[in-house]
Structure formats: structure tokens, C-alpha cells
Amino acid sequence: MPRAKYSAFIELSDSEDAYDFPPPTSSQSSAVIDIPDSDDDDDEPAWPASSQASSVPLDIEDSDDELPPAAAMASAALAKARAKGKRKRDADYDDESESSEHELEASPPKTRKTRAEPASRSAQKELKAQEKQREKELKAAQRAADKHAKANLKAAAQQQKKTYKDANKLVSDKRKTLKDMEIVFPAVFAEADKRALFTEFKKRVDGYEMVVSLANSREVRGLDVFTWNRTKRAEYDVAAREWMPVEEYVAREGTVAVYIEAAKLMEMLRAKQGSSTALQLRTVFKDSRLQIFFVVYGMKAFVGRGVTQAVRIKDEVECAVASFQMAEGVHFVYVETVAEAVERLYDLSADLGIKPHKLIERSHLRFCSNTDQRSGKSPMDTWRLMIEQVHRMTESGAEGIVEQFPTPRSLFEAYERAANQPARDNMVADCAVERRKDGQQRVRNNRIGNALSSVVGTVLWDRDPLTLVNKANP
């Protein structure tokens, strides 16, 4: 609360009746000091500054006596004024105290939540050490998790690369494809008199990890049918011309083999039921392009059963089978023993296993694959390369022919002048061959010979396009 400013005015009077009749003034009576004119009044006590009187009577005599100091009189008046102001301030302060006490009692005290601090400095250090240890463990666990995830990603990438490489590896051995194949025998081979074929076949493919199983029932009414399944781990992308690894799954092959005895086959063909049988198979397996094999058991015995009728039966069988093959595009496999049947089924399984790889290999060939023949540096060199294309002809043998007949025209004119066919066949028989195929020098028999000369004559001069050129029959 601001302090009040007080001012004091002192009015002096030398009148004898100033006390009873004060002069007119604007000041309060308590602020008027009467100075007496006599020295006898010195012993009269002065009014205290804290008195409640309205005036301070002072006997001031106008004499040569010594007057009281003016500073003392001003100090007394100022003390009185301050006392009055103090009483006023005390009253105001009491009112303020009462009001503030009233306010404090009215509002509840506010409490502040404070965190519980450790009891000592060692406890604080221990807590900090524990926090650091936890942070260290969390960081170590995170680093280990990141390292493990990175290792997993690297291993997955390596495995994917290996899978892709294995899928696109060239397969040339059909035996290695048997591990992906499964053959399902007809239910009839579960019987005791026919189970030998099933048992022997399992022994035949025992080392190739091929799955061999028996069907629970006949899939096609009246027919005993072999089927094949393939485990696929990759699909061929025609656009990219490469194998793409896929999730492993099992798919049925579009090939079946019907096991039938010779007598039953002839009954079917004589009754003109071949086409209906093929249609039945394609309908059951829901494949219009189904490849059908007939494994015929005992045809040789069936044909040779009657000595007098053997020729007629053989002609009848061949005619009926040929008609059936041409009409429906089926294939026939003839077996006479269990061992022979095992080998034919094994060959079929292996051929089916490598079939996709063979088809893809052939699809990469151009329309005319043998077009990258080297051209010679000169006409004579080109003529030599042409002769080298003859079957069994070596580079040294071609050089011997070119040395004796330097141009194609010269050799063709020689063939034309020949008196007969043996002369043409032996036209180049005496041409020299200085080196063997491996490059070593020939010591003896250093001529082309009659057999190879006949092959050269057939290739260059023969007019029949169907003539077979080989080692045995040039």
C-alpha cells in the first residue's frame, strides 16, 4: 500500500491572546504553535507530539531571552503528523489482513506434485548405470536383429539365384528326370497273377527316386490305363525363353498307355471300336490332344498261333493297326514278356520326363539350322570345304581330291566320261590322304579307298534323291 505524503505548516503569532483567540487561518488548530513572550514559562511542559489536543500552547515572550530552536519545533510538528498517518496505515493494514485472511480461508491450499528423488547420490548413479545398461542391451539386440535380417535376405537371394540356375540348367540325361515323374499302374496289377510287372518295374527304377503307385480303381471302364504325373518346380516363359521357378506342384501328363492283350485288341479292331475307344479316353481325361499308347502283350504268339493262317492274321493285324493309327494318331508298343514290358514302360517314363526339355531345345533351332558353313578364301578352298561335307570325309582326303580335280567342273566331266557305274564309284579312290583325322602322318594305306570314293560319287552324281548314303550301303 503506498505511503501517504504529509506536509506541515507552522504559523507563528506574538499575540498574547493567540491561544484564546487564534488568528484566522486555514490550518488546523493542532498545527498552530503559540510562542509566549515571557521567560517564566520555560518550565511549562510542552504538549507531546502524540497528544490529542487541538493546539500546542507555547509561552513565547518577546524578550532578549534565548528562543527554542526552530528545528526542534518543526520536528515536533512533523512527529505528530507522522503519528496520525501511522494510525491510519495501521487501520488500513488491519483491514487488508482481515480481508486476505478471509480469502485464504475461502480458497483451499494448492498442492504441487513433486517427483520422488533418489535418497542419495549413489542411488542416482545406480539408476543411471541401469538405464545405460538397458540402452546398451536394446542397441545390441537391435544390431543382432538387423544382422540376422540381413543374413536372411542374403541367403534368400542366394537360394533364389541357385534355384533359377538349376531350373535353367540344360538337361541331356533323361534318367535324371525320373525323380520328377510318377507312374500310376492300373488296379488290375494288384492281383497276384499280374503283380510281377509292378514289382519288377519298382526294382528297375529303384535308383532314380521315381514314384511308383497303384490306382485304387479303373478310371476308364473296360480299360487298364497307365498314367503319369509330373512334379513341376518351374514354368517355361516363351517370351523370355527361360525357365521361371514356381511353387512346387503336381500336374498330370497328357499321355496314357492302355495295357491290352493281343486277342482283345483284335476283337476291338474287328468290331470297328478303335475310334470310340480313343474318344472315350480323351473324354475321361478331358484332353482332346491326349497322347495314347497301346501296350500290346503277346502279339507274336497270337499271330503264330495257327501256322496255316499266320500270314493272313499278320496281314489283318497290320492293316487294322495302320488304319487305327492313321485315324486317331495312336501309338503301339508290342511286348512278349514281363521284362520287355518293364523296359518299354521305363523308356516311356524317361521320354516323358525329358520331353519338355527336348521340345524347348528344338524350338531354338532355326528353320534351316545348317547354314553357318564356313566360306573359303578362294574358289579352290570353297570347293575343298564342299567335299569335306561328305560323310566320313576328312580334311586331308578333301585336299587329295582337290589336288587331282581342282574344280567341280573337272570332277563332273570325269564322272560324265566314265564308261560305267563301277568306274564312277572308283573315280576318286586313288586320291592321296597324307594325314589321319587326328593330324598324324599316314604311313600306309594312304588313299581314299573304294568305299569312300563310292560315297563321294553317290553324293555328287547320283540322280535319285531318295538314295541312302551310309557306310554300309553307299
User: What pLDDT, on the 0 to 100 scale, is given for residue 196?
Assistant: 94
In this structure, are 212 and 344 located in the same domain?
A: yes
In this structure, are 209 and 292 located in the same domain?
A: yes
Rounded mean pLDDT, 389-397: 86
Rounded mean pLDDT, 443-468: 83
- Look at residue 201 and tell me if it is in a domain: yes
| pLDDT, greater one: 270 or 39 | 270
In this structure, are 200 and 340 located in the same domain?
A: yes
CATH number at residue 354: 3.40.50.10130
User: What pLDDT, on the 0 to 100 scale, is given for residue 379?
Assistant: 87
Rounded mean pLDDT, 364-378: 59
User: What pLDDT, on the 0 to 100 scale, is given for residue 123?
Assistant: 87
In this structure, are 184 and 48 located in the same domain?
A: no
pLDDT tens digits, one per residue of 283-339: 999 999 999 999 999 988 888 765 556 677 888 888 999 999 999 999 999 999 999
Instruction: Indicate the residue among 52, 72, 97 that finishes a domain.
Output: 97
In this structure, are 266 and 312 located in the same domain?
A: yes
pLDDT at 400 > cutoff 80: yes
pLDDT tens digits, one per residue of 401-411: 999 999 999 99
pLDDT at 102 > cutoff 60: no
Lowest mean pLDDT among 3-7, 175-179, 406-410: 3-7
User: What pLDDT, on the 0 to 100 scale, is given for residue 286?
Assistant: 93
- Look at residue 345 and tell me if it is in a domain: yes
In this structure, are 210 and 340 located in the same domain?
A: yes
Number of domains in the chain: 3
- Print the domain residue range for 31: 11-97
- Look at residue 348 and tell me if it is in a domain: yes
- Look at residue 410 and tell me if it is in a domain: yes
- Look at residue 63 and tell me if it is in a domain: yes
List the one residue out of 227, 321, 219 whose CA is nearest residue 265: 321
179 touches 349 (CB < 8 A): no
Q: Is the dihedral of CA 30, 35, 36, 41 positive or negative?
A: positive
User: What pLDDT, on the 0 to 100 scale, is given for residue 141?
Assistant: 93
pLDDT tens digits, one per residue of 420-451: 988 988 999 989 888 877 667 777 778 888 88
User: What pLDDT, on the 0 to 100 scale, is given for residue 303?
Assistant: 81
- Mean of per-residue pLDDT scores for the chain: 78
Q: What is the dihedral of CA 147, 148, 153, 155, to 10 degrees?
A: 110
Instruction: Indicate the residue among 339, 363, 387 that finishes a domain.
Output: 363
Instruction: Indicate the residue among 337, 363, 389 that finishes a domain.
Output: 363
Q: What is the dihedral of CA 270, 276, 281, 283, to 10 degrees?
A: 180
User: What pLDDT, on the 0 to 100 scale, is given for residue 438?
Assistant: 67
pLDDT at 388 > cutoff 90: no
Q: Is 94 exposed, middle or buried (0-12, 13-18, 19+ CB in 10 A)?
A: exposed
Lowest mean pLDDT among 141-145, 267-271, 468-472: 468-472
- Look at residue 154 and tell me if it is in a domain: no
- Look at residue 245 and tell me if it is in a domain: yes
What are 48's three cell numbers?
507531546
425 touches 450 (CB < 8 A): yes
- Look at residue 244 and tell me if it is in a domain: yes
In this structure, are 222 and 89 located in the same domain?
A: no
In this structure, are 445 and 354 located in the same domain?
A: no
In this structure, are 237 and 291 located in the same domain?
A: yes
In this structure, are 265 and 347 located in the same domain?
A: yes
pLDDT confidence bin for 212, thresholds 50/70/90: very high
In angstroms, the CA 454 to CA 429 distance is 8
In this structure, are 326 and 278 located in the same domain?
A: yes
pLDDT tens digits, one per residue of 64-78: 445 556 666 667 667
pTM (2 d.p.): 0.50
CATH number at residue 453: 1.10.150.670
In this structure, are 250 and 275 located in the same domain?
A: yes
Rounded mean pLDDT, 26-36: 51
Provide the greatest CA pair distance for the chain: 200
User: What pLDDT, on the 0 to 100 scale, is given for residue 473?
Assistant: 46
User: What pLDDT, on the 0 to 100 scale, is given for residue 358?
Assistant: 81
